[in-house]
Structure 1
Amino acid sequence: MNFLDNALTLITLLSLFLLGPALGRAIIARFHNWQAWSLPIQHLAVGICTMIAVTAMVLAYGALWKLSPKSVAWYNWIQEVPVAGRVNVNGPVEVRQPLRK
């Protein structure tokens, strides 16, 4: 399972590097006559749109992780880590039921 986790992590990172610039160019292509702009302004606009696309993808991955942690397989390994050790508790312990939403 370790190989699969690593592979999915690399795929996620590669999607940011490969899809980010492509989505950035797709965003800038939505502007009318953008190719008539001066070359430095074109590069700046493509860079800004690429940053917007990558930020949106990171937020989408974060939202997916928050909504459904089990669907993000590359992060599930943390739930499988066994907890080993001793904890000494000095004093009373209060146990409460979790609040229902």
Structure 2
Amino acid sequence: MQDFCVADPASPAKVNGLACKDPKSVSAEDFYFSGLHLAGNTSNTFGSKFTAVNVAEVPGLNTLGISLARLEYTPWGINPPHTHPRATEILSP
């Protein structure tokens, strides 16, 4: 049993998520993301910008089933059709 499993993207082993980093090499940066405050470029066909934060950006989220996102719209912008296999999406204004 373990409290956390920080992702080790360099490991060839694949488990429920990514293989765990050696706990001795885990740092605070493995649990931090600083980009959600930055405005995205919405000058595209959909008039929207999606910024994802998942295990690729925050290795400490590995195996927790958690991700975050920032979605920005221009007036009349849309969220393009998409799917979430094995996941749920909840949007809040």
Instruction: Sort the TM-score into its range (normalised by shorter chain).
Output: under 0.3
Larger relative contact order (Cα-Cα within 8 Å, sequence gap ≥ 6): 1
TM-score (norm 1): 0.24
Question: Whose helix fraction is larger, Structure 1's or Structure 2's?
Answer: 1
TM-score (norm 2): 0.25
Q: Which has the larger radius of gyration?
A: 1
